[in-house]
Each structure stands twice: as C-alpha cells, then as structure tokens.
Structure 1
Amino acid sequence: MTGDKSGSPSDVDLWRGARNGAAAALGALLDRHQAGMRAVALSVMGNVPDAEDAVQDASLIALRRIGDVRQPESVGAWLRMIVRNVCRSRLRAAVPTAPLPDLAAPAQQDGPEQVIDRHAMRDWLWRAIDELSPTLRMTVMLRHFSPRTPSYEQMADLYGVPVGTVRSRLSEARAKLAQALATTADSVHDDAVTLTRASARQAEETLAAAEQGWFAELVAERWTHDFGYYVGRERVGGRDFLVRGMEGDLEAGVRQRFVTAVAGKDITIWEMDLVNPPDDPNHCPPAVAWLMSMKDGRCDQLRLFHAPTG
C-alpha cells in the first residue's frame, strides 16, 4: 500500500478500499476531508445547522457513489463537489428541505430488475442500517434510499410529529450510521440484492392478487393478525380497512404499477405508479410509496406516502 511520508494511506489507497467494500477505509476518507466539506457547506449555506445537514447528506451520497470516482487522487475535490451540489440544490428548491436530485425517481424506461441492480448497496451498508432502531431505520431509508423522497414536512405528516423531530431523527440516524459502518464491514449479513428481489416479487404478487380478486386472502396470509394502517400516529384501520380501500380503487379504475422496492431487516418500502382511468385522470396522485414495518417476515404496520401532483 502506498501512502505519504508519515506512513498514512493515501487518498487513492482509501478510495480503493472503500470501493471494494472496506467500511473503515470509507470512514477514514470522510474523516480526512470532513473539515473541507464543512467549510464548503458553511460558505454556501451561511449557518452551522444547515451546513451540518448538507455535509451529512453528502456523506450518505458518497457512500452510494464511491465507485463513480474517475480520478481517485482527486477524491477530496469530488467530496467537496457533492457538498456544493447538495447545498445549491437546497438553496434552489422552493422548499428548502425538498428531495435532492441524486434521489430522484427512476427513469420510466427502467424495469424493476434494472432499478434494483442500480440502487442495491453493499451488504455492509445494509448491515449498518439494520443496526439502527426501527424508527431511525425507517426515517433514514425513506429520506435517503427511496426513489421518491418526501420532504421533511411530508415525513412529519406521515408520522404525526413536528418537523424538528424528523430533523433530529435524521441527524441521530446519520451519526449512528457512520459509527456502525466502522464495525460492520466484516459482519455476515443477508444479501441485500436477494432481500430486495424477494420483496419486489412480493409486491408484484400483491398487485396481481388485487387484480385477480384474492387480495383479502393474500393479506390474511402475509400480514399480521394485528396489522394496522396508520395516518400519522393514529391507527385508522386493520386488514379489512386496507382491503376495502384497494377494492374501491380498482372499482374506480385505478391501477397500481410496481416500480421498485427497498428492503431491510424489518423495514420495506414499495414504490408504485398510480394509473388513473382515462375519464378521471386526476382521481389519484401519480405515485404512492408503501412504507411497511415488518414482524417475523409479515407486514405489521403500513403508511402510504402519495407523491404530490404536478
């Protein structure tokens, strides 16, 4: 391994290790360039809290995109560029907490298999995510790994909590994720792609069951007896409530088309396009995400996030 005169590994060495899945190398790389990343964020955002948020967002983007670096010797400049782009995206957005371009919805021409392959991450990263509490895990997955990313305000509505609570949960999740990455690189973990593919098959089977008239039977088999559908913190119904809602949509001519899945240990997100009938094109928003908490492999809680129209 090469390095500087002090014997420390070079940026190229650390990048190579990070690209090959060494969490410690990625952690060291981010730590080495943290000061420069903060300086860029502060110069653009103008205040410490927003700058810290931008650096944390940029760090998670780097986790996903470390293999995209074309000039490893300039990885520091690459990290600062990500920070700058994150900051500019926040400033340009009408709502400061709007989703980042990096996490935009997948292109329509992509099929589920291509989307899964493109968004699948290293197993050690999923191991780190699974070390988070269920609340933090859902928050970070929804914000950073779901193609249709809700804003902080929308996430607050989903869970019935203040926006400040969402911000604090994300901050805590990011900090714990960074710590966990350093300890999970060598841990055995279920293959992330296998989990996601299995979840994608279940999503397509669920939609097919609804189309074919046996949605209630499938839900009874695959969802817990105490299943709850939640709006914010309020439980508004169980399995029967959801079955009636699905049947009502189908009777109105609304169909759901599976887009992609994100699956962890006990949190699953299904992304669906909503196809409205020709005579009522505005019946439903254009898309919906199923946010599911799992228990023993069965769906136990569900929240729906509808993409805004327009």
Structure 2
Amino acid sequence: MVFLEDAALTRAAQAGEVTALGLLLERHRAGMRAVALSILGPGPDADDVLQDAALTALRRIGDIRDPGAVGAWLRMIVRNTARSLLRGTVPTRPVDDGLDLPTAEAGPEQWLDQSALRDWVWEAVEELSPALRLPLVLRHFTTQVSSYDRIADVCGVPVGTVRSRLSQGRAKLAAALAATADAAHGDTARRTRDTRTQAHETLAAAESGHFGRLLAERWSPEVALFRGADRVGGGDLLVRAMDGDIGAGVRQRLTDAVAGRSLAVWEMDIVNPSDDPGHCPPTVAWLMTLDEAGRVHRLRLFHPRPLPAMQLLPVL
C-alpha cells in the first residue's frame, strides 16, 4: 500500500503539485535523517544535508523512472550529499544511474514535466532577495562554486553567513514555490540556451579584439566589477584585463551555464599558452547580475583555485 501511495505521490509531484512533494519528504524524513546521522553524526551538517536533499528532490523529481522507489532515491541523495560534504564538494549528479537518469526512450510527457518543474523552481528563486538568491543558485546550480567556502569567497562574507543565508533562502523558497505554483513560469531552457550563445559570442568577440565593442553594445554602461563584496572597477578594467589575457595567449572555453531573469552564471575552463602554463588559474566562473533589460550590470569573477596575493587585476 505504501509502495502504491509513494508512486501516486511521486507522479503528482512530477506534475508540479507542491503538496505531494511535501508529503513525500515528510513520509521519508526519518529514513533520510537516519542516513545523514550515520555519516555525519548529529549537528548542523546533518540538518544542512537534509535541506540540500529536499531542494535537490524538488529540482529533479521529474527524473525518477520508478515512482515507487522514491524512498530509496531520497535516501541516496542524502547519502551522496553527506559523503560529498565530508570531501568538501557538492555532487553535481547526486543520485545513481538506475534511479535518476532519464533514458533516450523517455516519453515527451516526462520531459515536459521536467521542464515545467525546472521553470517553476526558477520562478520561485527569482522571488528571493539578491542576498539570498546568489548563495542558493551557487549552491544548487553550479558545478565549481557550490562549496560553502567558495560561496563565502564569492559573496565576501563568512562561511557562517553563507549557512544562514542558505537556510533562510530555502525556507523562503518553499513559501515562494507555494505562491507561484499557479503562476505563469518563464522558459528556463530558452534562457539557458540564450546565455550559452551569449557566452560563446562574448568569447569570440574577445578573441577577435572586439570585447570592448560587445560590452558597449550589450552590457549596462554602469557595469561594475566586484571581488567579493568590494567593487574593484568598471567596464574599462574588464576590457583591459581581457585584452591582456588574450594578448598573452590565454583562451576560455565554456563548460556550463545557467540563467534566470536576474542572474546568469558562466563556468569556464582556461587554456593557457604552452610557454606559460601557469599564467592563469585553470577555471573561472562569471557571476553576473542582470538589470531589467537583461544586460549585465554587476560582474563577479571567481577562480576556484586561489590567485596569488600579489595579483591586482582580476584575470578573465
């Protein structure tokens, strides 16, 4: 009977019903907590993992192929997230292949449910304040900037503040999801395609010597460059730094991108010249706040590997 109820609730959650997902999480909370405690012991880390698992389930409930196995799926999310926390990382694919990954034969209704759920989550994320939105997006939607330490570096705040903002953000996100369940949701897939195209065009413009022109045409004239919480310059500094790297033979290659109405993240690999393999760190994330017209007006550049202390200009 429980198996059948789980399956029915999972299908309802995949169709976007907030209450159904809440019932699933409540039903399996004890088992999820037992897994977290067995790996991490009692304390705030176990609570954080349970919160992370709940949001992961919300984002990815549409992926599950066996609705009756949702309990095992939830416990696996907790187990993998807890283990990754011990390693200092966050898993980008937190559940195993047998339960999580959609097959090539998946019907169009499954992909529709996944897209609708993703759009709904992003619509709710947009309801958060900027201070809560950025840590939540970095934690759950990026591959290189998802650890507490790295989020703290990006935001220029202590790790304890990151934990607090994530906790507040998740609580407010739950309320925002309920409030936006029946609202019109934006097309997140289209935004992601568009931002990937923009990233490729930006890199191409830089390599052809037209980075400054592209910024003048597409970005806000008041664009500000930040390191942590501190403003370090504007568009002119950005252009000089990019032109300097291109002149030195440095190239960037897009590896991942996400975007909402107010925030976009580009994650890049950096390819250094063969005669200077240590010119730049190996990766960089472009964290962009967008204005109402969709133009970049605030940019943070973050290198997951720390830069030398003497470096003054942000490397692009």
User: TM-score with structure 1 length normalisation?
Assistant: 0.85
**How many matched pairs?**
285
Q: 2:232 corresponds to which letter in structure 1?
A: V
Residues 1:287 and 2:283 aligned together: yes
Q: 1:77 corresponds to which letter in structure 2?
A: A
**Distance in 2 of aligned mates of 1:251 and 1:304:** 19
Select the residue among 42, 48, 52 that pairs with 1:47: 42
Residues 1:124 and 2:124 aligned together: no
Select the residue among 169, 172, 176 that pairs with 2:168: 172
Gaps in structure 2 of 5+ consecutive residues: 95-110, 307-316
> Deviation per CA, 1:182-237, whole angstroms, max 9, x where unpaired?
23222102211111111111111111111121111111122222211011111110
Partner of 1:307: 304
Partner of 1:100: 91
- Farther-moved stretch of structure 1 (163-172 vs 183-192): 183-192
**Distance in 2 of aligned mates of 1:173 and 1:61:** 14
Pair 1:99–1:78, CA change in 2 (3 A): closer
**Distance in 2 of aligned mates of 1:71 and 1:123:** 23
Q: How far is the alpha carbon of 1:122 from its aligned partner? A: 1.9
**Distance in 2 of aligned mates of 1:272 and 1:132:** 26
Select the residue among 118, 142, 146 that pairs with 1:146: 142
**Distance in 2 of aligned mates of 1:102 and 1:147:** 10
Q: 1:36 corresponds to which letter in structure 2?
A: G
Helix, strand or coil at the partner of 1:188: coil
Q: Quick check: 1:58–1:82 contact (8 Å CA) kept in 2?
A: yes
Q: Quick check: 1:126–1:264 contact (8 Å CA) kept in 2?
A: yes
Q: Quick check: 1:14–1:25 contact (8 Å CA) kept in 2?
A: yes
Q: Quick check: 1:122–1:192 contact (8 Å CA) kept in 2?
A: yes
Superposed CA RMSD in Å reads 2.1
**Distance in 1 of aligned mates of 2:223 and 2:8:** 49
- Farther-moved stretch of structure 1 (120-129 vs 274-283): 120-129
Helix, strand or coil at the partner of 1:288: strand
Select the residue among 130, 133, 136 that pairs with 1:137: 133
Helix, strand or coil at the partner of 1:225: coil
Q: 1:167 corresponds to which letter in structure 2?
A: R
Partner of 1:278: 274
Q: How far is the alpha carbon of 1:81 from its aligned partner? A: 2.2
User: TM-score with structure 2 length normalisation?
Assistant: 0.84
Q: Quick check: 2:140–2:146 contact (8 Å CA) kept in 1?
A: no
Q: 2:297 corresponds to which letter in structure 1?
A: D
**Distance in 2 of aligned mates of 1:154 and 1:172:** 19
Q: How far is the alpha carbon of 1:101 from its aligned partner? A: 4.9
Q: Quick check: 1:195–1:264 contact (8 Å CA) kept in 2?
A: yes
Helix, strand or coil at the partner of 1:278: coil
> Deviation per CA, 1:118-154, whole angstroms, max 9, x where unpaired?
x976211111111111121111111110122342112
Which aligned pairs between 1:1-310 and structure 2 lie closer than 5 A? 10-91=5-86, 93=87, 95=88, 98-102=89-93, 122-296=118-292, 297-308=294-305
Gaps in structure 1 of 5+ consecutive residues: 104-116
**Distance in 1 of aligned mates of 2:265 and 2:138:** 8
> Deviation per CA, 1:161-186, whole angstroms, max 9, x where unpaired?
11100111111111222222223222
Helix, strand or coil at the partner of 1:21: coil
Helix, strand or coil at the partner of 1:36: helix
Q: How far is the alpha carbon of 1:252 from its aligned partner? A: 0.7
Q: 1:78 corresponds to which letter in structure 2?
A: W
Q: Quick check: 2:81–2:90 contact (8 Å CA) kept in 1?
A: no
Helix, strand or coil at the partner of 2:51: helix
